[in-house]
Amino acid sequence: MPRVLPQFLRSLRHRNIILFFGAGDLATSPFLVTEFLARGSLAGVLQDTDIALSRSRKVQFALDAACGIRFLHELRPARIHRDIKSANLLVAEVRPWPGWWGGGVEETAHAAR
């Protein structure tokens, strides 16, 4: 894991971005320490037939994810997540949070407004 990634993640503060506490490496298994979101991934919530989601709740998930991604794109320099999918969005009670494993974060010098 690049050393700059934990420093960057620690600096993020937005209601739609998961809180990051630290990172480590046990033998050959790197790990991240984040806040705990009991509902797990949005993919799991959407696949769980015991959870009835209204259309408005699903739209709110999409809007909250878009707000978090917009926040990253408006940073200077802008950041690009590179792996947005429901498995990488974590759900608290009512909104998904971008998770930072998988494709990671890419720094770019520009972003469309």
Q: Hey, what are 79's tokens?
A: 């950041």
Give the largest Cα separation in the chain, rounded. Answer: 44
Give the SS3 label for residue 82. Answer: coil
Amino acid identity at 25: D
CB atoms within 10 A of CB 90: 23
Report d(CA 71, CA 23) in Å as an integer: 22
64 is catalytic: no
| Residues labelled as active-site residues | 83
